[in-house]
Structure 1
Amino acid sequence: MNLDLDLQLASDADNLPRKDQLQCWVEKALSGYRENAEVTIRIVDSAESQSLNASYRGKDKPTNVLSFPFEAPEGIQIDLLGDLVICAPVVETEAGEQNKSTIDHWAHMVIHGILHLLGFDHIDENDAQEMETLEIQLLSDIGIPNPYEDNT
């Protein structure tokens, strides 16, 4: 896999994943789908996440991960897959609320976001089931338990 990962840190949060961890998770999600890819991961705080979520999804609150797929003009081939914007405080809060390891939740959010960039979605039940099954398998492959099991 030839991955060009651009990491942008726009958060004051502590205990963020290392770039090599992010790269590993991105590569895992892309395995079998892309041989070459360029991806930007921007780690942000709540204010930026909320602003982007309001602008692009009409939801005036911060969210865990936003995916912005790149769509090349017709006839142009480029390795740019798109951008992920991940809100560090939301990931931290959700991990605590769901009794999950924070680093495991980071891995899930990266894999989830990359699958969105690849075109997977969870709008209807069948698509959601397909995407969740794939997430569970990819996470299991790297030793992370099913993120959808109730850990309370």
Structure 2
Amino acid sequence: MTRGPIQLDLSVSYGLPRTGLPAAVSFKRWAAAACEGRIRKADLAIRLVDTKEGRSLNRHYRGKDYATNVLSFPAELPEGVTLPLLGDLVICAPVVAREAREQGKQLAAHYAHLTVHGVLHLLGLDHENDREAEAMELLEREILAGLGFGDPYEDE
């Protein structure tokens, strides 16, 4: 574990109207919380997209023909190159809004959860098996509680 505050360089781009979407400062707070104690310096980009772009990216990179809530693209640096480049997150705003409605969650809480979840993927965590999933979900709960949000898995 690293000590001290994270130095986070975050770029947020909006591929759809920003009305009702969290501000870049919120994404920075959520991403920093996910990085805190795990990495000292990070460069990260988050892009918010509509359903069409989200579906296209998911189809191209994962072979799945639907828009998903968050896609994580870890930076792939050449061997020997050390930069704080963490990677990119793509968040599909209409999917996030629909899920929040269906699950009875506050929209900001769902965005915070998906941001934390995506950043943890960029940091190398995964949920391919039950043990990994339990560990990742526990970490997400702890981070979100520190941000003032409830358990995102409470009703599942």
Q: Shared fold by TM > 0.5?
A: yes
The residue type equivalent to 1:2 in the other structure is: Q
Secondary structure (helix, strand or coil) at the match of 2:71 reads strand
User: For 1:113 and 1:142, how far apart are their aligned partners in 2?
Assistant: 16
User: For 2:19 and 2:110, how far apart are their aligned partners in 1?
Assistant: 15
**8 Å contact from structure 1 (residues 63, 87) kept in 2:** yes
Deviation at 1:75, TM superposition (A): 0.6
Matched, 1:11 2:16: yes
User: For 2:25 and 2:126, how far apart are their aligned partners in 1?
Assistant: 26
Q: Unpaired segments of 5 or more residues in structure 1?
A: none
**8 Å contact from structure 1 (residues 13, 88) kept in 2:** no
**8 Å contact from structure 1 (residues 53, 59) kept in 2:** yes
The structure 1 residue matched to 2:117, chosen from 112, 120, 132, is 112
Matched, 1:90 2:95: yes
**8 Å contact from structure 1 (residues 12, 45) kept in 2:** no
Matches within 5 A, 1:1-152: 1-12=6-17, 14-150=19-155
Aligned sequence identity (%)? 48
Secondary structure (helix, strand or coil) at the match of 2:79 reads coil
Aligned to 2:3: none
Secondary structure (helix, strand or coil) at the match of 1:47 reads helix
Superposed CA RMSD: 1.0
TM-score, normalising length: structure 2: 0.94
TM-score, normalising length: structure 1: 0.97
Deviation at 1:13, TM superposition (A): 5.3
Deviation at 1:71, TM superposition (A): 1.7
User: For 1:20 and 1:74, how far apart are their aligned partners in 2?
Assistant: 33
Secondary structure (helix, strand or coil) at the match of 1:145 reads coil
Q: How many residue pairs get matched?
A: 151
